[in-house]
Amino acid sequence: MSTSILSAAPSLATAIGSVQLDSPLLNASGAFWPETSSQLFALKSCMGGVVSKTLTQHAQAGNAQQRTVELPSVGMLNSIGLQGKGLAHFLNVDLPALVSHEVPVVVSLSAGTAEAFVAMVEACQPHAAYITALELNLSCPNVKAGGADAGSSPEWVANVVRQVKANTHLPCWAKLTPNVTSMLPLAEAALNAGADGLVAINTVLGSHVDVRRKTLSLSRTFGGYSGPGLKPIALYQCLKLAQAFPNVPLVGVGGISTLDDVLEFLMVGCSAVQVGTASFKEPLLFPKLKQGLLAYLQQEGLSSIKPLIACALP
Ligand SMILES: Cc1cc2nc3c(=O)[nH]c(=O)nc-3n(C[C@H](O)[C@H](O)[C@H](O)COP(=O)(O)O)c2cc1C
């Protein structure tokens, strides 16, 4: 028998603190439709977990149209504004559907105050057995209350994380805004308050003019920029976070669309990555990235992704 038949397939397993995942590949919140994707590939076999669209306590319609702009070859702007049916609908309808795919579920939450976050966390508690982690979205640029403006304050971030952590045993990841001079004070505040991991980055503020109509394209005048052009910015922020907080679980997100992008984020210290905008364009991106990662490990003679994590840090 040849050696390749004898040697076991490499493992993609990773950990975000206490959370063990079979793969470092997750979706970015709000930029993935599990119901559609699950018809194309088995979520369980290609993804380490599924992150919900950010949930708000009650149903909300989001911002007025127009709220997306495609920016050919570099990405998109969105100002959707956390449209959704509310937390109760998610917990009673969407969560059981996700759980049926046997994939870890990360629940993303947003609220205007720490107290409102706590109310949402309390509502999650009876369903805690089906929730792998909470992702606190402290960084949405498209909502007035509890979005990126509030999330630019280390004090606000610390207060939300502290109060959430006091009310749940679920692991809590803090998703932070890059729309600040430095993300480090936000990260420090989240970690000192008990965050179990950091997710970086949310979208970067951007605008667009419809030159034919001579108006701003987005009803809110600005939105969040995502997609391939975001990658060097997101990678820089992850690098800075990994250097400042070497042992802190870090999930990298922003502009990832290729195997090399995934590898870059792992090599600067991320233990997992999230893929958003690119999967709109390429619905089979997750199976492709998984296969690519396995083939890369085999070529490199590696049995797991662990030696890659932070290997490029100076
Ligand atoms: C249409 C759209 C909706 C989004 N909705 C959310 C959301 O609900 N919660 C959140 O934390 N981030 C949201 N994001 C931001 C993504 O999760 C991610 O941080 C960002 O898009 C960068 O990753 P990408 O370049 O791979 O898309 C959204 C992004 C897009 C494009």
Which tens digits make up the pLDDT trace of 127-180?
Answer: 999 999 999 999 999 888 888 899 999 999 999 999 999 999 999 999 999 999
Which residues are within 8 A (CB) of 91 and not within 5 positions of it... i.e. 6 or more apart?
A: 123, 124, 127
- pLDDT, residue 142, reads 87
What's the burial of 110, exposed, middle or buried (CB within 10 Å: 0-12/13-18/19+)?
A: buried
Tell me the percentage of the chain whose pLDDT exceeds 70: 98
Residues having CB closer than 6 A to ligand 1 are 28-31, 53-54, 76, 78, 80, 82, 108, 137, 140, 175, 202-203, 226-227, 230, 253-256, 275-278
- pLDDT, residue 305, reads 98
- 112 in Cβ contact with 149 (< 8 Å): no
- pLDDT, residue 143, reads 87
From first CA to last CA, the distance across the chain in angstroms is 41
Res 4 pLDDT > 80: no
- pLDDT, residue 7, reads 64
Catalytically annotated residues: 140
Res 5 pLDDT > 80: no
Res 85 pLDDT > 60: yes
Average pLDDT for 10-14: 97
Beta strands in the chain (DSSP E): 14-16, 19-21, 25-27, 50-51, 68-71, 75-78, 105-109, 133-137, 172-175, 197-200, 204-206, 209-210, 215-216, 223-226, 250-253, 272-275
Average pLDDT for 179-202: 98
Which tens digits make up the pLDDT trace of 89-107?
Answer: 999 999 999 999 999 999 9
3-state secondary structure of 8: coil
Tell me the percentage of the chain whose pLDDT exceeds 90: 93
Average pLDDT for 277-283: 95
Res 51 pLDDT > 70: yes
Of 68, 71, 277, the one to substitute when testing ligand 1's pocket (max ligand atoms within 8 A of C-beta) is 277
- 220 in Cβ contact with 208 (< 8 Å): no
What is the average pLDDT value for the chain, to the nearest integer? 95
Res 18 pLDDT > 50: yes
Tokens of 153: 């304050």
Res 6 pLDDT > 60: no
Shortest-distance Cα residue to atom 1 of ligand 1? 31
